[in-house]
Structure 1
């Protein structure tokens, strides 16, 4: 039945409270069919989102020299600012037409992951930047926990199965700015790629451009209702589920001519497990027809491999 769908259905996270199994089935089926889901009523307050958009735009409007002062050479883009045309999709010909800022988890001094998770960097302006994005990080984290609980139910695991896996996880909130593009630009704003992490929670996909590569080899535009969140499977979850849940290739294409003079902003939250979490195919996802595809690897080692592939760290 799901194969007849030509667009991703919009689900309400509010349904999880009254019917957790029903929501889990709908969410899991969307993940298994598309590698993507669209979720409204996600619990991230609209006032906070609006504050975050304002702060994002204000930061990227700062002078180039000021922004570059927050770039950490050799830091792999883990925290702070990454300049325009730095990241490139694996195997792509052109670099992505974007600049971004990363916010990570705040760790107490002496935390066991202090060596593998960089401390946050905070700009002097705009005012309130730190408080806004620490609050938003927590709101995304809370929504992610609920969605992972649905994934666990769908896979026949305990609803809290992911809790220990993502406790103090190396998640990243990315503030993205795609500047206006030339009418004849050969590049796309973000080349075809898959995400590295467990799941990605994205705000800002209402501005056209996000597309996923469907099973038939055609690109399918992702068009969420205003305020809804786009959620997708990352490579770590694909590996953990032995490809039962696919990490679908996606891209951000250049806009139509009439929108090329406009910037595009988005805020993806890349939900990662803890660095020492072992990504090993779940027994329930390994069958005679689907034998274990990849060897176990820690989340930290896998992340390092992938960051090298996309040009953020040197091998």
Structure 2
């Protein structure tokens, strides 16, 4: 199954012309916004094309991150901040625990899937590195200081801050456009989601997986899990391996076309829509297409680090997560009681071993 690609340009052009969107007055925009909300609800994933985010931007970012992940482990560990729940700087391989390894309810759910749709079972923590970089401004006062800490810049990368900030802010802008379109499609005010995202702890969080060491087919880089944030956006990786699960339980390997971005639903949008959108399940595994790409990269003497160009967009830490607008009347609304977004994030981080003592 191919995911549909939504071109954001008509919406962005309409905003630039009108500064305010009343989709009801524009049938074409109304149709696109309805398609965004329907696709997020039915599949938990969406491919978009944003003229502000070019393939060249993505390549420049991945080039730099490949050089970083190729550095010796002892150099990379200088950017490690476990006291800040690994929410800034580097997370070494072998730290983050896939939720499917420790969540009994999730284990029951995945065993109930048809055999051909079941995820591969990880045997321990993920063998991937990750770098966390804050995007956007932070609140001057917050109850969740460790979720809103200062960034960490590695030595020897003079272009680091500009490259990270440039690519990250472009991806946040794409998320904001999709969030507005989804709100309109769901019959909410167009700023229903984006007003809660202001000064959120958005994280540009590329992962680095060493295919030279872990390039065997069946290696699980990111075990079956959902994302705890609002929406996740990925640029195109140079090595395949990401699979997602649609709401109906079908497993789909994602192919992101050149110049496109992949958006996935996280747990916070599930909360705000009382389950109309479900946090999308996904995994990253070395498959036969990954192995083929490794061979080609080796022949061309290119980097064998698989870099994901990932950004986690969050609801602001001090904002309250609860079903919005008409979703508050949903029969499922009681499953999503009000909770401070920062408190919600801290609880989720503890389960996957990034805050305090995890389950493993």
What is the TM-score of this pair, normalised by structure 2?
0.80
Question: Equivalents in 2 of 1:291, 1:64: separation in Å?
Answer: 46
Cα deviation 1:151-200 (Å, max 9, x = unaligned):
11012111122332111111100121111154657641110000011101
Report the 3-state secondary structure (helix = DSSP H, G, I; strand = E; otherwise coil) of the residue aligned with 2:149: coil
Match of 1:130 among 144, 161, 165: 161
Give the aligned partner of residue 281 of structure 2: 249
Q: CA, structure 1 residues 295+147, in 2 after alignment: closer, same or farther (shift >3 Å)? A: same
* 1:94 counterpart (118, 124, 145): 124
Question: What corresponds to 2:77 in structure 1?
Answer: 68
Match of 2:222 among 190, 207, 215: 190
**Greater per-residue helix proportion:** 2
- In structure 2, what is the equivalent of residue 41 of structure 1? 50
Residue aligned with 1:191, SS: strand
DSSP-derived class of the 1:139 partner:
helix
2:343 corresponds to which of 297, 301, 308: 301
Question: Counterparts in 2 of 1:51-66, with a 5 A limit?
Answer: 51-66=60-75
Q: Distance in 1 between the 2:231 and 2:89 partners?
A: 22
The worse-fitting range, judged by mean Cα deviation, of 44-53 and 186-195 is 44-53
CA RMSD of aligned residues (A): 2.2
Q: Which residue of 1 aligns with 2:37?
A: 28
Q: Which residue of 2 aligns with 1:7?
A: 2
Alignment of 1:211-222 (within 5 A): 211-222=243-254
Tell me if 1:264 matches 2:295: no
Q: Distance in 2 between matches of 1:21 and 1:292?
A: 30
Q: Are the aligned partners of 2:88 and 2:134 in contact in 1 as well (CA < 8 Å)?
A: yes
Check 1:115–1:216 CA distance in 2 against 1; reply closer, same or farther (3 A cut): closer
1:145 & 1:107 partners in 2: Cα distance? 15
* Separation in structure 2 between the aligned mates of residue 230 and residue 185 of structure 1, nearest angstrom: 24
Deviations 1:52-86 (A, max 9, x none): 11111111111211111111132211111111121
Question: Contact conserved, 1:197 with 1:271, CA < 8 A, in 2?
Answer: yes
The answer to whether the Cα contact below 8 Å between 2:217 and 2:287 also exists between their aligned partners in 1 is no
Q: Which residue is 2:354 aligned to?
A: 312
Q: 1:87 and 1:260, CA in 2 relative to 1: closer, same or farther beyond 3 A?
A: farther
C-alpha spacing 1:46/1:306, structure 2 compared with 1 (3 Å):
same
Cα distance in 1, alignment partners of residues 333 and 76 from structure 2: 48
Partner SS state of residue 131, structure 1: helix
Does the CA contact (< 8 Å) of 1:204 and 1:265 recur in 2?
no
Report which stretch shifted further, 184-193 or 70-79.
Answer: 184-193
Instruction: Tell me the matched-pair count.
Output: 309
Is the CA contact (8 Å cut-off) linking 1:10 and 1:224 kept in structure 2?
Answer: no
**Alignment correspondent of 2:120:** none
Q: Secondary structure at the match of 1:211?
A: strand
Structure 1: unaligned runs, 5 residues or longer: 1-5
